[in-house]
Amino acid sequence: MRSKLMLLICFLVFSSAYSQNETINVYTPQSKSLQDFEWTNNRVGFTYSMMTGYGLTYLRHFDNGLTLKTQLFAYGSIDDNSSSSSEIDVAFGLEVQYTIKKFNKTRFYILGGGYYNYELMTDNWNGVDDDRTEAMKNIGIGVGFEFLAFNQLSFAIDGGYYGEFTKKTSNNINYIEGKPILIPVETNPIKFGFGFGISGYFNF
């Protein structure tokens, strides 16, 4: 059901973007600034991608067709007197794109890249800190398209294949004479699959 919904969304967005490219507009000096959209080389915004990361985004487009894109996300919740748990989540992603076709309001490209995600979660059990970590390395390749919805505002949708390599550490808690004893456990799950990405940018 989810895959069918994503295909429907991609079809509707593609149809809208394609129809915009095929529309012939007659500009006047008064209306040109409102309707004559223009590609720029810098973008900032937000991204969620199963291939190359998520968070605040900066994208730089070069004249040779290459584009460099970075994502950064950071979250923290530190333990205090009113809480018995804390959490840190940091992710950094890097993506390289190559534009294979560009129209007036639509850009098609191929992409490759990856991201690193580190999470630390701590719970306190009767004065003993139970630390759990998850360090994930992700790589992916795919294709995507970006379209100008308004002057200086664009959206992008990606799809592709990714590999996820994770190292998880946790603790089994045993009680000996009423005191908690932590026994470290480490797992290294690997995952491969198809994924998607969505982005929204402010162009300048």
Q: What is the pLDDT of residues 39-71, one digit of tens each?
A: 899 999 999 999 999 999 999 999 899 999 999
Residue-wise pLDDT for 21-42, tens only, equals 443 343 344 444 444 567 899 9
Q: Which runs of consecutive H residues, i.e. helices, occur in the chain?
A: 2-22, 32-35
Q: What is the pLDDT of residues 142-189, one digit of tens each?
A: 999 999 998 889 999 999 999 999 999 987 777 776 676 777 888 999
Whole-angstrom distance, CA of residue 152 vs CA of residue 133 = 40
* pLDDT band at residue 193 using 50, 70 and 90 as cut-offs: very high
Angle at CA 191, nearest 5°, toward 186 and 194? 160
Strand partners, 69: 59, 95
Nearest to 59 by CA among 41, 43, 48, 45: 43
Q: What's residue 3's pLDDT? A: 44
DSSP string, 100-157: EEE-SSEEEEEEEEEEEEEEEEEEEETTEEEEEEEEEEEEEEEEEEEEEEETTEEEEE
Asked if residue 10 has pLDDT above 70, the reply is no
CATH numeric code, 43-203: 2.40.160
Q: Does 12 have pLDDT greater than 90?
A: no
Placement of tokens 């603790």 in the chain:
171
Domain boundaries, given as residue ranges, for the chain: 43-203
Global pTM exceeds 0.85: no
Three-state DSSP state, 81: coil
User: What is the rounded average pLDDT of the residues 108-137?
Assistant: 86
